Structure 1
Amino acid sequence: MNETAISFAKDFLAGGISAAISKTAVAPIERVKLLLQVQHASKQITTDMQYKGIMDCIVRIPKEQGFISFWRGNLANVIRYFPTQALNFAFKDNYKKLFLDGVDKHTQFWRYFAGNLASGGAAGATSLCFVYPLDFARTRLAADVGKAGAGREFNGHHHLQGIIIYRAAYFGIYDTAKGMLPGNTSILVSWMIAQSVTAVAGLASYPLDTVRRRMMMQSGRKGADIMYTSTIDCWRKIARDEGGQAFFKGALSNVLRGMGGAFVLVLYDELKKVM
């Protein structure tokens, strides 16, 4: 096995393990975020049963569905996230070799920064092409909408735009910041940087993620049950009927969930050191 293949395998394993651990830890926050995000598009959650906010959702879930339901859809999420994050890290390091070959981070900072952004965005888009069906399954299970029907599973890869923005910020800003720090930077400082980066990346891409989840929720519906005819129609109707703030429903819980994303970045670096 050549050196490139071994390096890819190490990146894949380190990224996958760190992702699986972190996702299971923050699964309850993840489910609260997702329910708040898609409840308006769910046929199972009637208007009078919709959650009023994060605390209302946290209190009602164990009462109405049982405590263990906080982890509903987590297995599908881990199955999805292990290869997603593993591929993200593995592809990202390979894209960095392509975009940053010969670039000096001290004398060519903006090119270095742009290369990191491009590497992260390209890695996110490439990875989602492989694992989109698993992302779809996770959304449907966590929202618990019952039978999906006979509709097509893919709503189109225009959904890549949100992933590209998120991964570009998530990897690009973190790698740039980390690259400018001394090699003996403490794990606490690395985690604080990762936490800030994850929050910024999550908020920047959140409206796109909301639209993507809404479109997933109506898969399999027919006729009058179809709420949105296209992604553009979804954007328009959410803004018109629910207001601009609807694009950010669950965003606070998403920031809290970001602790897991920050943990992934730091744990990945630590695992790479021992591999």
Structure 2
Amino acid sequence: MQRERKPLPFGYQFAAGAFAGVTEICVFYPLDVVKTRMQLDTGKSQGLFQTFRTIIAQEGAARLYKGLVPPLLLEAPKRAVKFAANDFWGKTYMSMSDTKTMTQTLSVITGCSAGASESFVVVPFELVKIKLQDKATVFKGPLEVVKHIIRTDGVLGLYKGMESTFWRHVWWNGGFFGSIFQIRALLPKAETPQAQLMNNFISGSVGGCVGTMVNTPFDVVKSRIQGYNPVPGVVPKYRWTYPSLYIIFKEEGAAALYKGFVPKVLRLAPGGGVLLLVVEATLGFFRKTLGPPYI
């Protein structure tokens, strides 16, 4: 009878998620800057390469890493919360369903719950990042943004866009974790560590692609809400997620709901693969280091 492997302690899962998140963002961050620029443009957006060229020509290559500090500070807790919450909710839902086996439905529900948990952590960091990535920004660094927001809107101002961030993360995580469950089931069984790493990369990449297709409209709305600069006496056009989806659709067409999709999917599809690969590799390293009963 095969011995059941003991789950790793939370601290090791936290470290693996944090390390994976920092690795992913350092590689793919310029695509996030381009994505945000395209989403904030309410007119006819430039394409991916044209946006890259415009930023470099007008603002310099370093602009592609403008606003990197907030997501770097965020990535460790964000990714750690993502995978730890997914593990927690998965066990909780399996216990509630009186089953020891994860199903496709439970995987989607678990992912959505993990995304909801994650969203409460990321809002202030996302808000600061959007303010710095905006072409019209007058802020030199994240601390300047934070001070300005607190001075003008109070501490709760750091949670502007909470509702839209909630929906963005619910739908992305549901698509991501639900997809990787199904893809892993379809892939041939890995007979070697190298094959297992490849399976993780493939399933993570597909999951990242599906999650991006599902949540991009919500990401567009979030960028519009957080990127808006208040004008005294003027009611913001974008305030709540679903009404904002309708406004964008009505005024700019369905395609506008997928502004920034190409750089977003180019980041999050392979990024999801890199993320899952690094997480599993790091967890494997921890298991080998700790030895039985974690192996």
Considering the TM-score relative to the shorter chain, is it more than 0.5? yes
Q: Deviations over 1:86-115 (max 9, x none)?
A: 11111111111111245354xxxxx61111
Relative distance call for 1:199 and 1:242 in structure 2 (3 A) is: same
Per the TM alignment, residue 232 of structure 1 is displaced from its structure 2 partner at its CA by: 4.2
Q: 1:86-105 residue pairs with structure 2 within 5 A?
A: 86-101=80-95, 103=99, 105=101
In the alignment, which residue of structure 1 is the partner of 2:284? 273
Relative distance call for 1:98 and 1:228 in structure 2 (3 A) is: closer
Unmatched runs of 5 consecutive residues or more in structure 1: 41-46, 106-110
1:134 aligns to 2:139 (yes or no) = no
Aligned match for 2:228, one of 213, 218, 243: 218
Paired with 2:13 and 2:273, the residues of 1 have a C-alpha distance of 17
Relative distance call for 1:9 and 1:227 in structure 2 (3 A) is: same
Per the TM alignment, residue 56 of structure 1 is displaced from its structure 2 partner at its CA by: 1.0
Paired with 1:119 and 1:228, the residues of 2 have a C-alpha distance of 29
Aligned match for 1:203, one of 206, 213, 220: 213
Any conservation in 1 of the 2:32–2:264 contact (CA below 8 Å)? yes
Q: What letter is aligned with 2:285?
A: V
Q: Tell me the matched-pair count.
A: 259
Paired with 1:224 and 1:188, the residues of 2 have a C-alpha distance of 52
Per the TM alignment, residue 39 of structure 1 is displaced from its structure 2 partner at its CA by: 2.4
In the alignment, which residue of structure 1 is the partner of 2:143? none
Q: CA RMSD in A?
A: 2.4
Per the TM alignment, residue 254 of structure 1 is displaced from its structure 2 partner at its CA by: 1.0
Relative distance call for 1:162 and 1:215 in structure 2 (3 A) is: same
Q: Deviations over 1:133-180 (max 9, x none)?
A: 112111211224335662333235432122111111112321343366
Q: What letter is aligned with 1:36?
A: M
Paired with 1:248 and 1:156, the residues of 2 have a C-alpha distance of 19
Q: 1:53-202 residue pairs with structure 2 within 5 A?
A: 53-101=47-95, 103=99, 105=101, 112-144=103-135, 145-146=137-138, 150-151=152-153, 152-155=157-160, 157-159=162-164, 160-178=166-184, 182=189, 184=191, 185-202=195-212
Q: What letter is aligned with 1:257?
A: R
Any conservation in 2 of the 1:80–1:138 contact (CA below 8 Å)? no
Unmatched runs of 5 consecutive residues or more in structure 2: 1-5, 140-147, 287-295
Please, which moves more after superposition, 145-154 or 193-202?
145-154
Relative to the length of structure 2, the TM-score reads 0.80
Relative distance call for 1:235 and 1:223 in structure 2 (3 A) is: farther
Per the TM alignment, residue 130 of structure 1 is displaced from its structure 2 partner at its CA by: 2.4
Relative distance call for 1:187 and 1:230 in structure 2 (3 A) is: closer
Q: Deviations over 1:181-214 (max 9, x none)?
A: 5353432232122211111110111101111111
Relative distance call for 1:85 and 1:221 in structure 2 (3 A) is: farther
% identical equivalent positions? 19
Aligned match for 1:13, one of 8, 12, 15: 15
Any conservation in 2 of the 1:20–1:82 contact (CA below 8 Å)? yes
Per the TM alignment, residue 229 of structure 1 is displaced from its structure 2 partner at its CA by: 4.7
Paired with 1:225 and 1:95, the residues of 2 have a C-alpha distance of 39
Paired with 1:140 and 1:38, the residues of 2 have a C-alpha distance of 11
SS in 2 for 1:224: coil
Paired with 1:77 and 1:229, the residues of 2 have a C-alpha distance of 24
Paired with 1:223 and 1:121, the residues of 2 have a C-alpha distance of 37
Relative distance call for 1:51 and 1:239 in structure 2 (3 A) is: closer
